[in-house]
Amino acid sequence: MQMSHIPFETTDWENIKKVEYKGKSGSAFWRTKQCGTIRVRMVEYTAGYKADHWCQKGHILLCLEGELYTELENGEVHLLKAGMSYEVADDTMAHRSYTRCGAKLFIVD
């Protein structure tokens, strides 16, 4: 990841518009900021959310609240609790997420 042409600034995530994305079940609410070629997001999943697709995009993801299950295409399932993160490169391992109780995430990709 090359970070260039990004001036210093602070972000009040409450001032960034929340956009809803429906999952296979539940909803994801994204607040997104584009920093050059890097996308930074604050994401909230409702209780019962399950992604409707396998993702190949690389992410650095930090769980801020709740619990997030990330299922890999090979059948492995990983649980993230608040304070835990995962990191994966583009086109490395297809993954999709779900949550039973809801989750709040900070994601860089």
Q: Does 101 fall in a domain? A: yes
Q: Does 26 fall in a domain? A: no
What are the structure tokens assigned to 25, written together? 């079940």
pLDDT in tens, 30-41: 999 999 889 999
What are the structure tokens assigned to 46, written together? 């409702």
Q: Does 18 fall in a domain? A: no
Residue 65, domain extent: 40-108
Query: For residue 104, is pLDDT > 90?
Result: yes
CATH number at residue 86: 2.60.120.10
Entry pTM? 0.93
DSSP state of 18: P
pLDDT in tens, 5-24: 888 999 999 999 999 999 99
DSSP state of 50: B
Q: What pLDDT is attached to residue 1? A: 67
Residue the block writes with tokens 């304070």: 83
Number of domains in the chain: 1
